[in-house]
Amino acid sequence: MTEPGAAGEVPPPAPVVPGSVGLLGGTFDPIHHGHLAIAEEAREALGLERVVFIPAASPPHKPGRPVTPAADRLAMVRLAVAGNATFEVSDAEIARGGASYTVDTLGDLRDAGLADPWFILSSEALAGFTAWREPERVLELARLAVVPRAGFAPLDAAWVDARFPGCAGRVAFLDGPLLPISGSVVRRRAAAGRSVRYLVPDAVAAWIADHRLYQAIAQRTDAT
């Protein structure tokens, strides 16, 4: 979406578009600095007025994987975004319950009056986008803001157009950030009694310690 200058200069933030909204969904088990940096990059690059974090109730793409109770994950997201007036949290998927499908959430938001938001996702998620429930409908309900993820090949407008003809204009590819942090690393470190400071906000680290989260999951190896 934005391009560095010839000398590697960082472009200024885009002008804020009144009423513009970005949506960042995920399991957030736990939320970490990578999630926050992604949201901030999308906000500045696209001129978003606000970014809404939407923790999933039950991620359909991770069947059989134990997930931390929704109340804990929601609390950690709220702690993580506190202090940023442009960040908000929605419990829409948790309140709805069941498997959290993006198309259902976007449909509910459209019915509530939110038109054409930006849905923020990684290049890894986009690579599997064709397997999502009703991906064409997702592209009707929202534009996609794609951020890179370490270890995954970057995609482009041609990739989108080959699979969803005429929809390349609905997808923006952002330059970064590229923070190699994953929820699985945080969970394993917490399970081993190691510090997670600087990987997650201090308030989130305190919640993990105070509620003894991830004590029984040292062997989890999936990345989020």
Q: Is the peptide bond before 18 cis (omega within 30 degrees of 0)?
A: no
Determine the Cα–Cα distance for residues 129 and 87; give it in Å rounded to an integer: 25
The β-bridge partners of 23 are: 52, 119
Residue showing tokens 């407008």: 157
Per-residue model confidence as pLDDT tens digits over 153-180: 889 999 999 999 999 999 999 988 878 8
Q: What angle do CA 133, 136, 137 make, to 5 degrees?
A: 75
CA nearest to 141, candidates 163, 165, 108: 108
Determine the Cα–Cα distance for residues 31 and 26; give it in Å rounded to an integer: 9
Per-residue model confidence as pLDDT tens digits over 85-95: 999 999 999 99
- Tens digit of each residue's pLDDT, the chain (224 residues): 544 444 568 889 999 999 999 999 999 999 999 999 999 999 999 999 999 999 999 988 766 678 999 999 999 999 999 999 999 999 999 999 999 999 999 999 999 999 999 999 999 999 999 999 999 999 999 999 999 987 788 899 999 999 999 999 999 999 888 788 999 999 999 999 999 999 999 999 999 999 999 987 544 434 44
How many Cα atoms within 13 Å fall on the side-chain side of residue 43? 17
Determine the Cα–Cα distance for residues 189 and 215; give it in Å rounded to an integer: 10
Q: Which domains does the chain have, with CATH numbers?
A: 21-179 (3.40.50.620)
The β-bridge partners of 52 are: 23, 88
